[in-house]
Amino acid sequence: RLSSGRRRHREPEAEGCPPGVGGSMRCQQVSVLYFARSAELAGLRSETLSVPRQITSLQLWEEIVKVHPRLAVIQDQVILAVRQEYVLLGDQLLVLQPGDEVAIIPPISGG
């Protein structure tokens, strides 16, 4: 019975987490919200993904593109919002918590 309890504690390293991630790099479940063109390309408006707890904004984008390769076409135009704060794609280190919200915000054209 003890071994069953131990398995439950390992749950944050759920499927979808990049291979070889462990220790302080445990995975977190985050909510990803897709807006405008990103929702069209991904084929959905929201989902939950498992990503490393510590990750750069560019690596986070790359993890999302692995799940939805069609999003790659908007990489040069997209901005992320993590916990409702804008983040440019780059080497900015993010420390994610379970349930954090990541929004994919593509360019919005007027007219």
pTM recorded for the entire structure: 0.77
The dihedral through the CA atoms of 44, 73, 28, 79 has a sign that is negative
**Can you give the pLDDT at residue 13?**
39
What per-residue confidence (pLDDT) applies to 6? 39
Exposure string over 77-106, b if 16+ CB within 10 A, otherwise e: ebebebeeeebebeeeebebeeebebbbbb
Walk me through the domains of the chain, giving residue ranges and CATH numbers.
27-105 (3.10.20.30)
Give the C-alpha separation, 108 to 29, whole Å: 28
pLDDT at 19: 53
Residue 25 confidence (pLDDT) = 58
Mean pLDDT per 10-residue segment, the chain (111 residues): 40 47 69 96 97 97 97 95 95 96 84 51
